[in-house]
A and B are shown apart, each in its own frame.
Chain A
Amino acid sequence: MSRGIDRRRIMGGASAAAIMALLRGDPAVASVARPRSALESGGRRAFAANQTITALVPDRLYRVGCMVRAERLSWLPGDLDAWEPLNSYVLTDQDHCVFVDLGMPIARPAMESALATLVGSRKVWLHYTRNEYDCIGNLGLVLGTCRNPTLLFGSAGGILEWINDPAVSIMEVRDFLGRIPIEEARNDTARSLGDLRLRWLEAVAKQMLITQWVYEETTGCLFTSDFFGFRHARDDASAPVIDSAKYLPSVDVVAREIVARMNWMREAQYPAMIERFESIFQQLDVRMIAPVHGCVIRGREAVAAHVKLAVKALRAASALPDEERMRYA
C-alpha cells in the first residue's frame, strides 16, 4: 500500500516502482526508467524546455510554445521516447495580431514573450479551436494583458466565465462576458483582418464534438487543433518544425497515436469522415499544418506526404481493438 492506494491488483512491481520513483523524484531510479525525464530539471514540479517564439513565415506567422517530455500525456501512447512541442500561434500584419489557440499554462513564459514582442500597437484578436486547457490555458493572460482584445468565437460554452483572468478578481470574472467584445467565427465563414484571410471549418478528425479548424490563406496554414500531432521532437533542442517528407513514422505507429487521443475510432466505421478529410486538402492550398501539440509540418511536399500518411492511419485506426469494451467482456 502506498498513500492508501492498493496497487497490487494491477501494476507490476517494476512498472509501479518506476512510476512512483518518477513521482517522488528519485534520480537513481528515474534515470533507469527514462534517460531524461520531466523531473530532470531537479525540481519537484513539471519542467518545460525551450520556451520559444519561432517565425514560421517571417513577419506573418509565429509558433509560440515549449517542449515537454512525451510522458504522462493523455493524447499519446505511454511508451513514446520523445519530446513533445506544445504550440500556440500568432498571425500578424501591420495592424492586426491574431492569436490562434492560447496554449497551456506551462507554456506561459513563451506566451508572455509573445505578448511583449509581437503585439505592439496592433489590434488583438483571439480564437481558440477547442474549449480545453491546451487551447485556452493562457486565454486569461492574453485577455487580461492586451488592450481591447476581441474574441473570435465559434466554439462552446460560457468560456468567459471560467478563464483565469489575472487582471480581475474571481467575482469580476463572472461579469467578463459583457466586457470582452465577441464576434462570431462560425464554421464555413471567412473573414479578412487587414492582410490576413481567415476561414473557419468544422474539424474533420476530432475527439470533442465542437472543434474547429482554421485556414489562413496568405500563409496556407491550416490550424488543426488536436489532429496531425503525430510528429515529435528527438530532444528538447530539436526544431518544432518538420520540413521534410522523408523519415515518416509508420502507418501503424500513427494509427496508435491517433486513437490514444480519439478513442472512439477503435472498431468504428467512418468512411464519410475520411472522404471529407481528403476533400478538404483537395480544396485548400495547404502549405503548412499547425497542431496544438506535435511538430508543425511545413511545405507543400511535407504536407502532402503527411496527409497521405494520415489517411492511411485513419483507416488503420478503425481496425484497432476497442479496449474499454474488452475490459468488461
Chain B
Amino acid sequence: MPELLNDVIQRAYIVRGGLPRMVLPDFAWVGGCSNSAGWPGPAAKRRPVTHEPCLAYLILGATRTLMVDTGHFAHWYSLEGQLESVLQGRTLDYVFPTHQEIPHSGNLGRLLQKYPKAIAVGDVRDYHLFHPEVDLDRLVPMKHGERLDLGDREFVVLDAIWKDLSGSMWAYDTKRRLLFTADGFGYIHLHDANVCGTMLHEMSAEQVKQATDRPAMPFNGMQQRNQAARVAAFRALMARYPLEIIAGGHTAPIMGPILQPTIEKLLATIAENKTGAAYLQSSPR
C-alpha cells in the first residue's frame, strides 16, 4: 500500500478530485470526502483507509438557485470558494438541508450569513436551537409534496423512505428527474482507488463494483423492520417520480445507464436486510 501523505493522515475532511464539478450546466456537485485516517480513536489505524463523500449540490434554476445540504462543517475552508465559482455572481436563494445532522446542516448559519437573502426550507425543525442567531422567518417549513418554483423546474420536497434522523427529507427536481436522497445511496470508497470527484459511470467496472459493494447505511434498526415493504415504497416513488439521476449526501451523482443497475443492487441488499459495510465511524466497542 502506498505511503499516505502526511496531510491526508492528519486531516479528517479533505477535498480531492477537482471539486466543484458542473455535472450539468445547471447542476453542480460541491464538497469533499471524510478520511478515516484522520479520525480520532481506532478508526485512524484501520486499513485500508476509506473515504466517505460528504457532498452538497447546487441547482441553478432559471430564476432561483437552491443548495441541497450545506456541505460538511469541516469543508468550509474550501466550500466557500466552490460556491462562488459555481454561482458566478448569482445569489443563493434557498438552502434545503436534508436533515439535522451536522454533516448535512452544519454550515447553515454560515450560508445564511454569507447570502443574506437566502432562506432555509424543508424540515427546518431544531435549527432555531442550533443557530439562534438566525431570524426565524428565514427558516420556512415545507412538508411532503410541497414545491418550490425555480423558474424552469419545480423542486418537490418528499418524505424520506430510509431515515437517519426523523427530520430527514428527500427532494425531486422535475426538470432533471433528479432525486436527492440524503443518506440514501451513499457509498464509501477506498483512499487508494483515487475516485474522489469521480462518478460511477466514469469508473472502471472493477471500481464500480468495489464502490457499490460498500454502501454507507447509517440507519439504526434496519434489521428490526420489514425492509421489503420499504423497497416496495421506493418502487412506488420511482413510478410517481421517474428517475434519471440520484444524488445523495454521501455519493457522487449516479446517472446514465449505470443508474438502474445501481438502484437494483442497493434495493436487493436492503431487501435481504443486510446492513452492508459498516458506516464509516469509529466503533466505540
List residues of chain A with CB under 8 Å of any chain B CB: 1, 3-7, 9-11, 19, 22-25, 38-39, 44-46, 48, 68, 72-75, 86, 104-106, 108, 131-134, 136-137, 151, 153-162, 164, 170-171, 173-175, 177-178, 182, 184-188, 200, 202, 206-210, 212, 260-265, 267-270, 273, 322-325, 327-329
Q: Distance in Å from the Cβ of B212 to the closest Cβ of chain A?
A: 21
Do the beta carbons of A182 and B40 come within 8 Å of each other?
Answer: yes
Do the beta carbons of B137 and A161 come within 8 Å of each other?
Answer: no
Do the beta carbons of B133 and A45 come within 8 Å of each other?
Answer: yes
A162 CA to B285 CA in the complex, in Å? 23
- The residues of A that contact B233 with a CB separation of less than 8 Å are 324-325, 327-329
One of B124-132, B244-252, B260-268 at the interface: B124-132
Do the beta carbons of B11 and A106 come within 8 Å of each other?
Answer: no
Do the beta carbons of B284 and A158 come within 8 Å of each other?
Answer: no
Do the beta carbons of A328 and B161 come within 8 Å of each other?
Answer: yes
Q: Which chain B residue lies CB-closest to A76? A: B125
B87 within 8 A of A: no
CB contact list, B120-179 vs A, under 8 A: 121, 123-126, 128-137, 139-150, 154, 159-161, 163-167
Do the beta carbons of B39 and A158 come within 8 Å of each other?
Answer: yes
- The residues of A that contact B219 with a CB separation of less than 8 Å are 209, 264
Please report the number of residue pairs spanning A and B whose Cβ atoms sit closer than 8 angstroms: 236
A176 CA to B134 CA in the complex, in Å? 27
Do the beta carbons of B225 and A268 come within 8 Å of each other?
Answer: yes
A9 CA to B156 CA in the complex, in Å? 11
B218 within 8 A of A: yes
Known: A68-B129, A158-B38, A161-B13. A75 touches B166 (CB 8 A): yes
Q: Distance in Å from the Cβ of B81 to the closest Cβ of chain A?
A: 13
Do the beta carbons of A177 and B12 come within 8 Å of each other?
Answer: yes
Do the beta carbons of B40 and A160 come within 8 Å of each other?
Answer: yes
From the candidates A9, A324, A328, name the one contacting B146 in the complex (CB within 8 A): A9
Do the beta carbons of B218 and A209 come within 8 Å of each other?
Answer: yes
* 0/1 interface trace, chain B 221-256, chain A, CB 8 Å (1 if under): 110111001101110110010000000000000000
- The residues of A that contact B123 with a CB separation of less than 8 Å are 74
B106 within 8 A of A: yes
Do the beta carbons of A158 and B147 come within 8 Å of each other?
Answer: no
CB contact list, B99-130 vs A, under 8 A: 100-102, 106, 119, 121, 123-126, 128-130
Do the beta carbons of A44 and B136 come within 8 Å of each other?
Answer: yes
Do the beta carbons of B129 and A177 come within 8 Å of each other?
Answer: no
Q: Distance in Å from the Cβ of B8 to the closest Cβ of chain A?
A: 13
- The residues of B that contact A22 with a CB separation of less than 8 Å are 136
- The residues of A that contact B230 with a CB separation of less than 8 Å are 324-325
A134 CA to B136 CA in the complex, in Å? 19
A126 CA to B221 CA in the complex, in Å? 29
* 0/1 interface trace, chain B 72-97, chain A, CB 8 Å (1 if under): 11101100000000000000011000
